[in-house]
Amino acid sequence: MTVAAPSVLLGSGQATDRARRLRLDLVGLVAAGVCLPVMLGALVAVSAMAALAVTAVIGLSIVIWRKPAVAAYLIIFMTPLVAGIDRGRIVPVLRPNEALAVFFAGLLTLRFFVQYRPGTPLRLRVGRIEASLIAIAITTSITPLAWMFLQGKEITGDDITYALVLWKFLGVYAIVRGTVHTQRQVWFCLWASVSSAVILGGLAILQTLDVLGVRALLMRYWVPFGFEAQLEIPRGSSTLSLPAATADVLIFNLAIAVAMLWKSRRHIALLVMACLVFVIGTFAAGEFSSVLGLVVAVICIAFALRRLDLLKYAPVGLSVAVIAAWPAVTHRLEGFQSAQGLPNSWIVRWYNLQTYFWPDLFHGSNVLFGVRPSARVVVLTQGTGYVWIESGYTWLLWGGGIPLFAAYVWFCRVAIKDLWIRCRDLTDWSAVAAVGAFTAVVVIIVLMNFDPHLTYRGTADLLFALLALAAIGKDPPEAASATAEAQEVEDTVEKPQRGAMMRSADTLTGVDR
């Protein structure tokens, strides 16, 4: 009996490629074994913390190189916990979550080129949702910057920073979409999101109640622009340093948790407790708009799951949340006792829009292509030094004009349609992610009347991650439509043939159907 050589069994090309990769791995291991101890020894002599950080980075790089999906797990879990730390506080120029995303993107890109085999076709399929997101990114960056250049306006560093915001979120989408491929990995991502949100919501509740020293803990790193007075207010900004963004993340995870509970009926106690934390934490954020978003989300979840009877549990959950987060509720209700009969924040919001944004926006042709990407103006009398646009739809026109507004409408239209179809039946974990993404899109549409939630830290990161998870294992709508049409044509052609065959069989067997 003749035994074929390995090159014959595997193919000469595959054997050569495998041998080449093996040699590269051996060379890398030898180089690492020689160089790393020397480098770490030198770093320890200089700084033990630096040596520990380098060791952690190397270890994380090895894990992600072997298991790329870990990058998605970490980016989803860590973002709500570190995104509220100011730029430059820990990492130069960037927020910690942004630095993490840049590191993962660079490592995964290097891994792709090292493992890429020349001649292998590259397949890049862009669906309707992805195309609409790219359109939003272009109309928030390239279009307004080009318009400013043609008008001779000065382009500041703030404009460049804001122009890159949507591209950053697209990077998060690419990391999740490019590393998560199986439903088990989707399941891990969903649990990473829920677990992180439980920590986020728990800290928001404790911060509102001012217990266990949570406010003092947040004072160390999670103080936006060093404005410590903001943490003295009984409102749950938590580790996102922004109450509205905290509430958004909790609301989106409420949809995820309910859908997970409805799909598997496992881990019931954990998921029910998580839902309770999410609802209470939303009230602890102390935002009227967030309570409205919670109500909208509950309705969306019931419709997405095709179970309107779930709405009967809403009054009980809301009542418990109001009682648990009573300090934040009373603080917000006190605003109606002002001389104007309205909360001061509402009056200031209206004043800022009328004073700092609308005059420039509706001056001349600015509304066509926007004023500038930067969504804030410097006002030294403010505690943070800036006044932000507190109207999402005003931000669309300010940051990109009519093209950005049209791109956003396009995204909402295709996202709602595709996600509604995707979460019709909870056949897999990507459908659970689609429930969360569908709820997130609808909630953002409503809350954009108050603030630009589409770009909020934490909010947008989770939205883009859920959109990526919902797309896994799904045919593009065009392919699904074509398949359905082909099936319909086939049924139309074959139906008369099947009927004739059945009648012939009945005649032969004497059976009267």
Given 115, 138, 166, the domain boundary residue is: 115
What mean pLDDT do residues 341-348 have? 74
* Shared domain check, 365 and 225: yes
- Residues 179 and 305 grouped into a single domain: yes
Determine the distance from the C-alpha atom of residue 190 to the mean position of all C-alpha atoms in its chain, rounded to a whole number. Answer: 12
Name the residue among 54, 45, 49, 63 with its Cα closest to residue 108: 63
Distance in angstroms (rounded) separating the CA atoms of residues 198 and 186: 19
Indicate whether 313 pLDDT > 60.
yes
Q: Distance between CA 242 and CA 305 in Å, rounded?
A: 30
Phi, psi angles (nearest 5°) of residue 387: -120, 125
- Name the residue with higher pLDDT: 347 or 154: 154
Distance CA 460, CA 395 (A): 15
Q: Are residues 62 and 203 in the same domain?
A: no
Domain match, 60 and 203 both: no
Residue 10 lies in a domain: no
pLDDT at 73: 97
Residue 464 falls inside a structural domain? yes
Angstrom distance (rounded) from CA 88 to CA 66: 31
- Local confidence band at 40 (pLDDT 50, 70, 90 cut-offs): very low
Q: For 14-18, 252-256, 459-463, which range has the lowest pLDDT when averaged over its residues?
A: 14-18
What domain count does the chain have? 2
**Would 157 be classed as within a structural domain?**
yes
Q: What does pLDDT average to over the chain? A: 81
- Say if residue 394 is in the same domain as residue 418: yes
Q: How far apart are CA 462 and CA 471, in angstroms?
A: 14
Cα(351)–Cα(354) distance, integer angstroms? 5
Choosing from 82, 115, 148, the residue where a domain stops is 115
pLDDT at 502 over 50: no
| Range of weakest confidence among 17-21, 51-55, 126-130, 257-261 | 17-21
Residue with tokens 């790193």: 221
149 and 46 in a single domain? The answer is: no
Token pair listed for 11: 């193919």
Same domain, 93 and 135: no
Q: What is the mean pLDDT of residues 413-426?
A: 92
Please name the residue that has the structure tokens 């409420």: 254
Most confident of 3-7, 169-173, 304-308: 169-173
Does residue 512 sit within a domain? Answer: no
pLDDT in tens, 218-263: 888 888 766 666 667 778 889 998 999 999 999 999 999 999 998 8
- Residue 485: inside a domain: no
The pair of three-digit structure tokens given for residue 68, joined into one six-digit string:
């790329």
Q: Are residues 285 and 405 in the same domain?
A: yes
Residues 94 and 212 in one domain: no
End-of-domain residue from the set 432, 452, 470: 470
Q: In this structure, is residue 389 part of a structural domain?
A: yes
291 and 397 in a single domain? The answer is: yes
Burial per residue of 289-302, b for 16 or more beta-carbon CB atoms within 10 angstroms, e otherwise? bbbebbebbbbbbb
Q: Which of 145-154, 241-250, 299-308, 312-321 is predicted least confidently?
A: 312-321
Identify the pLDDT of residue 21.
55
pLDDT tens track for 352-398:
899 999 999 998 888 999 999 999 988 877 777 789 899 999 999 99
User: Considering the domain boundaries, does residue 379 fall inside one?
Assistant: yes
Same domain, 216 and 147: yes
Average pLDDT over residues 95-118: 90
Query: By percentage, how much of the chain surpasses pLDDT 90?
Result: 50
The pTM of the full predicted model, rounded to 2 decimals, is 0.82
Instruction: Over range 183-197, report the average pLDDT.
Output: 96
- Are 110 and 144 contained in the same domain? no
> Which domain covers residue 151, as residue numbers?
128-470
Q: Is residue 105 part of a domain?
A: yes
Q: Which segment of 207-221, 317-331, 353-367 scores lowest on mean pLDDT?
A: 317-331
Q: Residues 485, 486, 491, 492: is their CA dihedral positive or negative?
A: positive
Compute the distance between CA of residue 180 and CA of residue 185 in angstroms, rounded to an integer: 6
